[in-house]
Amino acid sequence: MKVSINAEAVKCNLDVSTQDELVRSLSNSLVRTGFVKADYPDHVLSREEKYPTGLPFDGFGIAIPHTNPEYVHKPTIAVATLAKPLVFRVMGSPNETVDVSLVFMLALDDGHTHLEFLQKVIKLAQEREKVQQLFSAPNDEELFHLVSAYLSEGAL
C-alpha cells in the first residue's frame, strides 16, 4: 500500500507552545497542496478537545490528532517531532495528560487505507529504537525519509 506522506508536512524539532500552533503549522502545507479542506485544522482542534488523542508509550508520548473524512480530499499524514513536549489529554481518559513529543496528524478518508496507516503508526510507536531514530533525525528531510521507510515496511 502506498503511503502518501507530504514531505512539506514533516517537521523536525518543531518549536510550538500550543496545540493550535502545532495543528496549524502542520496543516498549512496540507491545505495548500489540496490534501485537506481549508477548515480541516479547525476541525482537528475541536475534535481533539472532545476526543483527545494523546497516547502514552514507554518513556514518551505521541498524539494522533485527526478529524472526520469529510474534511479530507486525499489521505495523508503530517509528522512532527517537537522541540519541547506539548501536553495532550489521553485518549479515553481525558482527565489524564501526557507529554507528547511525536505527533502524527492524520488526514483520513473513509477508505480502508486509513486503517493501515493507523496500524502502521501504532506499530511504529511501539518500536522504541525506531522512535529514537525519529527523535534523532537532524532535519526535516531525514525525518521524512525515516518515516516513509518505517511506514511502508512490510506487512503488519
Could you say which of 118, 130, 142, 148 contacts other proteins (CB under 8 A)?
A: 118
- One symbol per residue from 37 to 56: x for binding other proteins (CB under 8 A), - otherwise; what is it? ----------x--xx---xx
Tell me whether residue 12 or residue 105 sits nearer to other proteins (CB atom): 105
Examine residue 85 and tell whether it contacts other proteins (CB under 8 A): no
Does residue 36 contact residue 73 with C-beta atoms inside 8 Å?
yes
Q: Does residue 59 sit in helix, strand or coil?
A: coil
Burial of 3 (0-12, 13-18, 19+ CB in 10 A): middle
Could you say which of 7, 18, 49, 92 contacts other proteins (CB under 8 A)?
A: 92
Strands (E), the chain: 5-14, 54-56, 61-63, 76-90, 93-107
Examine residue 119 and tell whether it contacts other proteins (CB under 8 A): yes
Could you say which of 90, 113, 130, 135 contacts other proteins (CB under 8 A)?
A: 90
Examine residue 11 and tell whether it contacts other proteins (CB under 8 A): no
The DSSP bridge pattern shows strands 61-63 and 54-56 to be antiparallel
Does residue 114 contact residue 35 with C-beta atoms inside 8 Å?
no
Residue ranges in contact with other proteins by CB under 8 A: 47, 50-51, 55-58, 66, 68, 90-94, 106, 108, 110, 114-115, 118-119, 122, 125-126
